[in-house]
Amino acid sequence: MSFYRNWMSYIKDDAKITRIAMPGSHNSPTMAMNKFACCQKGTVYEQFCYGLRMFDIRLKVNKKGELIAAHGVMNGVPAERVFLDLKKIIEETNEFIIIYLRTYMNQGIGPITLSYKSNNEEASRLIKTCLSPEKYALTDISDIANLTVGDIRKSGKKYIIINENRDYDYSVDCPIQYPWSSEVYGLKTEKFVKTIFEYFDEIETEGFFGLQTQQTPNPGTENGWLKWPDDLDEMIRPYIPQIIADIAANPKWLEKVNIIVGDFMTKDYMKSNEILSLNLLKGIVKEELKEEYAKAIGKY
């Protein structure tokens, strides 16, 4: 649907990019992985077409030395395929996207710690060959807290690549809070949907804030290994409207809410619609387009 490909065009110029409510995806390029590791069924491009604007992309090299998408020990599609999806987004639209790019982090499983290697030079090559970074990459983040949609529109920038270590050419160490712990994300659903709100009160940032809504199977937690990501998604989905309603009912949370990510974001438009509805309550949708925006997400 065309609305989900250009919903940012409905947002006022003076809206701060770090305060817009936008859908994102957890472990974005895991669509080709097995049931144990698959968190998304749609490609990165398909996710964009469902309204997503933040992509959590984790890389590593496989045994052949090829740069691939990763979810822990599980191997995904070639990194080039992910970057070609991003290229298609950038070439086809004027929307702004957030690319959270990194090597898959060290992973503790009981007494064992797994570490992963990447190829930063190859990732930088893909950025330069696919994403026209000299033209479209946002690299001036000196006042990210006050950067508005209007500023981005005037600059012509279309994306930001966030990496705390600036491992890649054109990546920036932009402040981003993306809290996760096995204890919280391994809770039973009823506890989980109440506990994640604590992040709104505990965390402050001048940059982006990503609230993760997916539960995670982990040993030693209430959920353990008994459920796969798609099973856990079925458990959390009925709670998504209430999560959004609880955020909307708290003025502090509503002002702070920014990126909300989850698993299986292309199953339908429900998650995107709920998240995007927060922009109406924030008052950042253009007055003359409010009705059209609300109808598009089924909130009129």
Distance of CA 107 to the CA centre of its chain: 20
pLDDT tens per residue across all 300 residues of the chain: 699 999 999 999 999 999 999 999 999 999 999 999 999 999 999 999 999 999 999 999 999 999 999 999 999 999 999 999 999 999 999 999 999 999 999 877 667 788 999 999 999 999 999 999 999 999 999 999 999 999 999 999 999 999 999 999 999 999 999 999 989 999 999 999 999 999 999 999 999 999 999 999 887 888 877 789 999 999 999 999 999 999 999 999 999 999 999 999 999 999 999 999 999 999 999 999 999 999 999 998
The full set of domains in the chain, from first to last, is: 2-296 (3.20.20.190)
Single pTM value for the model? 0.97
As a whole number of angstroms, the distance between CA 57 and CA 40 comes to 12
Q: Of 195, 200, 167, 178, give the one whose Cα is nearest residue 60.
A: 167
Contact 54, 17 (CB under 8 A): no
